[in-house]
Amino acid sequence: MKLTSANINVMVKACRKASKILIRDFGEIENLQVSLKGPGDYVSAADKKVEKILIDELQKARPNYSILSEEIGEINNDESFKWIIDPIDGTSNFLHGIPHFAISIGLEHNKEIICGIIYDPIKDEMFTAEKGNGSYINNQRMRVSARSKLKDCMIFTGGPRYDSTCKELCLKEYNKFSSEILTPIRKLGSASLDLAYVAAGRCDGFWQRDLNYWDIAAGIILVKEAGGFITDFGGNNEYLQNKTIVVTNSKINKEMTDILTS
């Protein structure tokens, strides 16, 4: 089975078209133009080209929908429907020739994500999900893992940036988890793929502070439709407002939030 709704088809087409730019430029890393966007935060020419293709394709198919995208900000139209776009999640990996980054698109309806797509163009892995219709990787159904003991789990995280105001707190949280699990914590550099990997059962849990909406929008529906949990550090549903997120299979959410609040 695969997802074939009109909105999913629009998203897949946009990702496929934009990915051609990414694949081409990834093969010519030394020729990329890079500008400084902020401390430790770079945006490549590829980011901008990919974003333009995505927006053009999405607007052509759904001209009345609003858009929130990492590089250009907001395009305000019909506020009941909004595309949430991250043209390259894992830009630093991309710029350093590390083949772990993704295009991420979520579709919000009345403030709720109803479908999402995360596409890894180098591995040609397309993660898709739609409310009520499940999560899929390349048209194969995904489910979160069934591991129930935190010590046996694979856990991902990211950050903090060098200028983060909560760096010490993040490092304390990292140390707490390091003492609770047998497998070293992974930091792979792409939050959207981290969420997709939880949905696919490749890892069991993920936590991070200070992520942006476009980093997680598509992943939210992927994880939920795969049977996983998403909360803030306190185990509540305020992860967007509080900018703390815990993403897990259905077994270890409490163990993780207990560590984060202890």
Q: Domain boundary at 141, 162, 181, which? A: 141
Give me the domain span that covers residue 250: 150-261
The verdict on 112 and 74 lying in the same domain is yes
pLDDT value of position 31: 72
Does 1 map to a domain?
A: no
- Per DSSP, the residues of 179-213 read TT-SSPPB--S-HHHHHHHHHTTSSSEEEEES--H
Cα distances (Å, whole numbers) of residue 23 to 92, 104, 124: 15, 16, 10
Residues 148-177: tens digit of each pLDDT: 999 999 999 998 877 788 888 999 999 999
The amino acid sitting at 245 is I
34-38, 64-68, 89-93, 119-123: least confidently modelled range = 34-38
**What's the pLDDT band for 42 if we cut at 50, 70, 90?**
low
The verdict on 98 and 195 lying in the same domain is no
The verdict on 90 and 21 lying in the same domain is yes
Q: What is the CATH number of the domain that holds 192?
A: 3.40.190.80
Does 96 map to a domain?
A: yes
- Per DSSP, the residues of 81-126 read EEEEEEEEETHHHHHTT-S--EEEEEEEETTEEEEEEEEETTTTEE
Print burial letters for 142-169: b (CB count within 10 Å at least 16), e (below 16): bbbbebeebeebbbbbbbbeeeeeeeee
CA distance 247 to 50: 28
Q: In terms of pTM, does the model score above 0.85?
A: yes
The verdict on 103 and 43 lying in the same domain is yes
Residues 204-246: tens digit of each pLDDT: 999 999 999 999 999 999 999 999 999 999 999 999 999 999 9
79 in Cβ contact with 90 (< 8 Å): no
The verdict on 133 and 156 lying in the same domain is no
Total number of domains in the chain? 2
Q: Which residue has the tokens 């991902």?
A: 156
Q: Domain boundary at 141, 164, 191, which? A: 141
Residue 245, H or E segment: strand 244-248
Across the chain, mean pLDDT equals 93
Does 18 map to a domain?
A: yes
Name the more confident of 128 and 28: 128
Q: What is the CATH number of the domain that holds 78?
A: 3.30.540.10
**Nearest partner of 46 among 98, 93, 88, judged by Cα:** 88
Q: Domain boundary at 141, 171, 197, which? A: 141
Mean of pLDDT values over 102-131: 97
Residues 53-76: tens digit of each pLDDT: 999 999 999 999 999 998 899 999
Does 250 map to a domain?
A: yes
The verdict on 81 and 169 lying in the same domain is no
The verdict on 190 and 133 lying in the same domain is no
pLDDT value of position 121: 97
Mean of pLDDT values over 237-261: 95
Residues 139-148: tens digit of each pLDDT: 899 999 999 9
The verdict on 125 and 212 lying in the same domain is no
Does 115 map to a domain?
A: yes
pLDDT value of position 41: 63
